[in-house]
A and B are shown apart, each in its own frame.
Chain A
């Protein structure tokens, strides 16, 4: 990206939503030097800075740019699936201005030099903000802890074992205890690998399909274990991808007990259930597996009442080589950056989650948890802004997908709500035409 200062920008005639201060009002956003000067009704009466570009939003919503806390990118090691550049293009088109990259690349991001590599590649090639998540254990093997202090200093915003759980409770306890000394957040995939041992949600559906099941208990037991360890270690913990109604109960109880915990859910588990798998459609294969409709409804309710703090895309690019196999042999994962906001808006349109809460789970929610300055429209915050038309209908066509991999479970899906402009650090990274 060019290093010169961007031209000031005024987004006028917008419906400004800033979940961090529960603001939802008509107004403007004034941006200069890559930061927010003013946002909201008070900004509407201020004059534009000298030389500013003025955009009439025509009543569209302007909110903080979305933060996607769980994004797998193929760089380094699988650039044919996705690069930081292609992921960032997809993100910008989806209104996502900040992505947190998963460490499960090849090599695994378990060394400060690799964190530095991601940050430099992102600076040179990506059009959105990139924050690396570092591996919690070396090689994600679950046996030895990584250099949490040095990795954090290099720029890692949190620590995770990717899509694998740390089986050894003693290891997990020690890492959480150690991470606490560095005020480091531990993000965990909660699924007991031995009990999981299947390829789709356990139950009648799997039984008829002749597929081995992943019982809900594989997640619940691991989550319950983790919360006991959080209580022991007093660490900061985020359950990355919960998927069952019981898990929401476990999180609720944990929060009531005063533990420093948050919970996340992937957009897929809010908008799909196991019936979408149909005749073994592998784009719907993911970990945790899609559950039943009751679980999906419980996830939505937990977003609405604040039990779930963060919605992520769990973007995971897979190509034909890894997906076009019989179900059991196909890889897990679905892309989701470009559809994150549009899919999430389904929960608003179905009148299940109000807009401020919904947007909060993708802006101030992850920002607060990761300690990022972005994710809010307060004066001085980075000028990361997403403008979207709440009602505009569109259809996701495969040929328009910006990700290098096309494994979207939303292929040909209909959406209401379209990103029209994405601003990253005061520069327009995407406009819909």
Chain B
């Protein structure tokens, strides 16, 4: 981790963080360097900083997510912001209508930071055009999940000391994964070799032009990999629509010891959570010595602190 903090004070000239797309490598590295500091802060007894004192952060979640929402909440609080969580249920209101209405309502409350998760790709972009504050994308449909990619990169860099020239295999439901998209962009930006491993029905069209090597045989795809990144397979895709059955998927694409053995001996295993043990990953691997899954959660808070801090620096009166 030597010389990693040269990007610490890189300017972050963006009002919103809507995706990894559009970020320069030095901006990404700048966020990672800031996050390293946040890791230290989070490990102290007194975890409180005051950079967001007096600021209001609203977490607006149109989709349930315990993990991401609590991570953003903690990140905001550790920086001294007033944090409010808003869960918007989809059942009670007509689809979509809530988005603009809620945006207008929230805007009237003068938040400084709005953290948004929505089930539709592009919803966060639409919202960012309608509000006066900074917007952080906490996942918009299958489009992007930038803070997940940043926390993955931070976790990798802390263990491997670098991102460039590592071989990263992203395995599973690439087609419907925002985590995969953000990671493909970020890892390419930082010079990693990215592979995707999945049955072709779970790959988006044009995948070969997305800057990745494509494998539909997991053993081939894991050969020599430094990092094995597993993705969650949604339950509604398991039974015949995209893959025939759970057991067939697990047989060919579930990460177990036998398949992991094809990767490098020091390969590390990641998963954005929540995991389906016995579907995409074997319990012994998920909880085994090569797994970084718990550490990813810790890095999540740090990276989100870094993002909020970087955006706050651009807020008015600062």
Could you tell me if A326 and B99 are in contact, using CB atoms closer than 8 angstroms? Answer: yes
Give the shortest distance, in Å, between B24 (CB) and chain A (any CB): 18
Could you tell me if B140 and A210 are in contact, using CB atoms closer than 8 angstroms? Answer: yes
Could you tell me if A210 and B99 are in contact, using CB atoms closer than 8 angstroms? Answer: no
Residue B195 CB within 8 A of the other chain: no
Could you tell me if A326 and B210 are in contact, using CB atoms closer than 8 angstroms? Answer: no
Give me 9 A-to-B residue pairs in the complex whose CB atoms sit less than 8 angstroms apart, sorted by A's number: A203-B205, A204-B209, A207-B207, A213-B204, A280-B125, A326-B122, A326-B123, A326-B140, A328-B141
Residue B240 CB within 8 A of the other chain: no
Complex interface: chain B residues within 8 A of A207 (CB): 175, 204-207, 210
Could you tell me if B205 and A324 are in contact, using CB atoms closer than 8 angstroms? Answer: no
Could you tell me if A209 and B121 are in contact, using CB atoms closer than 8 angstroms? Answer: yes
Q: Given contacts A213-B205, A326-B99, A326-B120, is CB(A204)–CB(B210) below 8 Å?
A: yes
Complex interface: chain B residues within 8 A of A328 (CB): 120-122, 141
Pick the contact of B126: A210, A213, A280 (CB < 8 A): A280
User: Which positions 152-184 of chain B face chain A at CB distance < 8 Å?
Assistant: 175, 178, 181
Interface code B197-228, partner A: CB below 8 Å = 1, 0 otherwise? Answer: 00000001111011000000000000000000
Q: Given contacts A204-B205, A204-B210, is CB(A325)–CB(B99) below 8 Å?
A: yes
User: Which positions 110-148 of chain B face chain A at CB distance < 8 Å?
Assistant: 118, 120-123, 125-126, 140-144
Residue A195 CB within 8 A of the other chain: no
State A211–B119 Cα separation when bound (angstroms). Answer: 11
State A324–B123 Cα separation when bound (angstroms). Answer: 10
Complex interface: chain A residues within 8 A of B204 (CB): 206-207, 213
Q: Given contacts A202-B205, A204-B205, A325-B99, is CB(A209)–CB(B122) below 8 Å?
A: yes
* Contact size range, B: 20 to 34
Q: Given contacts A280-B122, A329-B95, is CB(A210)–CB(B205) below 8 Å?
A: no
Residue A208 CB within 8 A of the other chain: yes
Residue A327 CB within 8 A of the other chain: yes
Interface residues of B, Cβ cutoff 8 Å to A: 21, 95-96, 99-100, 118, 120-123, 125-126, 140-144, 175, 178, 181, 204-207, 209-210
Q: Given contacts A203-B205, A203-B206, A328-B141, is CB(A210)–CB(B118) below 8 Å?
A: no
Could you tell me if A324 and B100 are in contact, using CB atoms closer than 8 angstroms? Answer: yes
Residue A1 CB within 8 A of the other chain: no
State A205–B141 Cα separation when bound (angstroms). Answer: 16
Could you tell me if A326 and B118 are in contact, using CB atoms closer than 8 angstroms? Answer: yes
State A205–B205 Cα separation when bound (angstroms). Answer: 9
Which residue among A203, A206, A207 has the maximum number of chain B CB atoms within 10 Å of its CB?
A207
Could you tell me if B120 and A208 are in contact, using CB atoms closer than 8 angstroms? Answer: no
Give the shortest distance, in Å, between B26 (CB) and chain A (any CB): 22
Complex interface: chain A residues within 8 A of B95 (CB): 325, 329
What 7 new A-B contacts, CB under 8 Å, besides A326-B122, A326-B141?
A203-B205, A204-B209, A207-B210, A211-B142, A279-B122, A324-B126, A326-B99
Give the shortest distance, in Å, between B200 (CB) and chain A (any CB): 13
Give the shortest distance, in Å, between B70 (CB) and chain A (any CB): 24
Complex interface: chain B residues within 8 A of A280 (CB): 121-122, 125-126
Complex interface: chain B residues within 8 A of A211 (CB): 121-122, 142-143
State A329–B178 Cα separation when bound (angstroms). Answer: 18
Q: Given contacts A209-B143, A210-B178, is CB(A326)–CB(B126) below 8 Å?
A: yes
Complex interface: chain B residues within 8 A of A208 (CB): 21, 181, 210
User: Which positions 377-424 of chain A face chain B at CB distance < 8 Å?
Assistant: none
Chain B, Cβ-Cβ closest to A322: B96
Interface code A349-384, partner B: CB below 8 Å = 1, 0 otherwise? Answer: 000000000000000000000000000000000000
State A204–B203 Cα separation when bound (angstroms). Answer: 11
Complex interface: chain A residues within 8 A of B144 (CB): 210
Chain B, Cβ-Cβ closest to A204: B206
Pick the contact of A329: B120, B143, B210 (CB < 8 A): B120
Give the shortest distance, in Å, between B114 (CB) and chain A (any CB): 16
Closest 8 CB pairs of A and B: A210-B143, A280-B122, A204-B206, A326-B120, A207-B204, A210-B121, A210-B142, A326-B123
Complex interface: chain B residues within 8 A of A324 (CB): 100, 126
State A280–B125 Cα separation when bound (angstroms). Answer: 8
Complex interface: chain A residues within 8 A of B96 (CB): 325-326, 329-330
State A153–B21 Cα separation when bound (angstroms). Answer: 58
Complex interface: chain B residues within 8 A of A215 (CB): 205
Complex interface: chain B residues within 8 A of A210 (CB): 121-122, 140-144, 178, 181
Complex interface: chain B residues within 8 A of A329 (CB): 95-96, 120
State A412–B209 Cα separation when bound (angstroms). Answer: 33
State A324–B142 Cα separation when bound (angstroms). Answer: 20
Give the shortest distance, in Å, between B316 (CB) and chain A (any CB): 23
State A193–B118 Cα separation when bound (angstroms). Answer: 26
State A215–B204 Cα separation when bound (angstroms). Answer: 12
Complex interface: chain B residues within 8 A of A326 (CB): 96, 99, 118, 120-123, 126, 140-141
